[in-house]
Amino acid sequence: MRYDTEVLFVKEVEGGYSPELGKWVQGSKKVTSRMANVTDLGAEKSRLFFGEVRNFHKVIRLRNPYLESWSYAVISEREYTEKKASQSRHKSSFIVGEN
């Protein structure tokens, strides 16, 4: 299995009032880059998980666990949101859908 695709995990932090600073702050984005194995979700699994076949679901497999929360992932300049996640001690996998 090749981990040859760059995936950007983006966490959006909402702006709001900061009691520590005593003023309003703007929202920000935290971007984390990981190399991953990215494939299309097959028709059988798509039907099993979602009840229908769609072409825009992908599977992201990471060599190491990714335990941080994230808002969306960017693959080849397209945004995807998490639909299902699987974590083990040694790796992570996510099924994502295109926005």
Fold of 5-98: Thrombin, subunit H (2.40.10)
* pLDDT tens-digit map of 38-86: 999 887 777 777 777 766 889 999 999 999 999 999 999 999 999 999 9
Res 21 pLDDT > 90: no
Would the pLDDT of 32 be above 80?
A: yes
Q: What is the mean pLDDT of residues 20-49?
A: 88
- Look up residue 35 and give its amino acid: M
Q: What is the pLDDT of residue 55?
A: 67
pTM of the model: 0.82
> What's the per-residue H, E or C state across the chain?
CCCCEEEEEEEEECCEEECCCCEEECCEEEEEEEEEEEEECCHHHHHHHHCCCCCCEEEEEECCCCCCCCCEEEECCEEEEEEEEEECCCCEEEEEEEC
Answer whether residue 34 shows pLDDT above 80.
yes
